[in-house]
Structure 1
Amino acid sequence: MVRAADAERGTIRCSHVGCGADNRLQTAFHYDQAIVQGLPGFGSLTYLGHPEVTYPLQFGPNVIGTSESCTVQVGRFIHEGRCFISRRHCTLTVTFDQWSGQLRYQLQDGAPEPDQPEIRSSLNGTYLNGSLLQKTEQIDLNHDGIITLGGADRFRLTHYFIPPAMLTTYKVELAFNPDRTE
């Protein structure tokens, strides 16, 4: 039990004989996910073959491929007479991390078909920073990460960073836990 005087001071003095150390009380918080409703964007992909070509991302799953049913429909880029990007090549999911207050980007090879729930892998693979993703692997992407579709077409991911001033308005203090001390 934390005494009112200790809570007001923000520390608890250790009662062990000869110790007397001050333990700082920590308050915990997270950020309300409602913040995503007011964001102007969720990041983008830039095609490195033509840097003027960018594709905006949406919150949630972004299916990337050449099909009209994709969230991010990329062009059929031709290399030696072939396109190496599948109709529904990969899935880039944008979520909100309530503990860090930032958007999180996760990449997975393949995508579900509109009428089927299971993931179908791409024909030519998906690479992150030069490393091939395994068929069932879902991996976090850093800002400026390079996604290569089919081993031929490269895209740079640009994160959207939520401004700190905006974050403070969505901060949710959690109830004090006396076991949470430093």
Structure 2
Amino acid sequence: MEGFRTTLINCRECNRRILVRAADAERGTIICSHIGCGALNTLQAGFYYDETIVQGLPGFGHLTYLDKPEKTYLLQFGSNILGTSDSCTIQIDRFMHNDRCFISRRHCTITVTFDKWIGQLRYQLQDGFIDSSTQQQQSSLNGTLLNGVLLQKNELIDVSIDGIISLGGADRFQLTHYCINPEMLNTYKIELAFNPDRTQ
């Protein structure tokens, strides 16, 4: 293992120090040499997934309007502002309830990012939007709920797979994640050098 310098780690069993050489790091294990121990310590090399994978994805998930399941809204990578205004990233129809629409012009924001440590897309929900001219948070008029729980002002929360987002308490949408194919994901895996602080 080129460039590897010997290092010390703590044994997972006896917690005494063990000297790790290049051959141990390459093999991925080391047996504790202390009398009465002999525990097998697995040496973990870290890894992450290259973020350029998002450039080749065919989609980034979508919202399904639960009252009309044929009505879906595609998400894009990055910030998605949802509302009835035509200036929104995702323009939602003005669904009427007793002649009232409960969805604000710019109601909430779903931010789609890539988590390079787990290799999956991450979906974060926030009520309202950030005004680009003032950089201030503007809240919706009737609130945003995730799985029946009202989001607080400035709260940013992860939406789990098939999470239910309610706009104004009247219109519910199910968020469907885009799941990256594991075979494709493995082609973007980047191995890190052995980290002496990571043992199993």
Quick check: TM above 0.5? Answer: yes
- For the aligned residue pairs, the C-alpha RMSD in angstroms reads 1.1
Name the structure 2 match of 1:15: 33
CA contact under 8 A between 2:25 and 2:194: conserved in structure 1? no
Deviations 1:66-96 (A, max 9, x none): 0111001000111111110000000001000
Report the CA distance between 1:9 and its aligned residue. Answer: 2.9
Amino acid at match of 1:57: L
CA distance in 2, matches of 1:181, 1:157: 37
Partner of 2:51: 33
- Which secondary structure state, in structure 2, belongs to the residue aligned with residue 5 of structure 1? helix
Deviation at 1:114, TM superposition (A): 4.2
What's the counterpart of residue 120 of structure 2? 102
Tell me the distance in 1 between the aligned counterparts of 2:110 and 2:76: 10
Q: Distance in 2 between matches of 1:114 and 1:179?
A: 42
Q: Structure 2 matches for 1:168-179, cutoff 5 A? A: 168-179=186-197
The answer to whether the Cα contact below 8 Å between 2:28 and 2:43 also exists between their aligned partners in 1 is: yes
Q: 2:144 aligns with which of 106, 126, 136?
A: 126
**Whole-angstrom distance in 2 between the partners of 1:114 and 1:27:** 42
Give 2:88's aligned residue.
70
Is there any run of 5+ residues in structure 2 with no aligned partner, and where? 1-5, 7-19
Which amino acid in structure 2 is aligned with residue 140 of structure 1? D
- Structure 1 length normalisation: TM-score? 0.96
Question: Taking every aligned residue pair, what percent have the same amino acid on both sides?
Answer: 71
Find the counterpart in structure 2 of residue 85 from structure 1.
103
Moved more, 46-55 or 13-22: 13-22
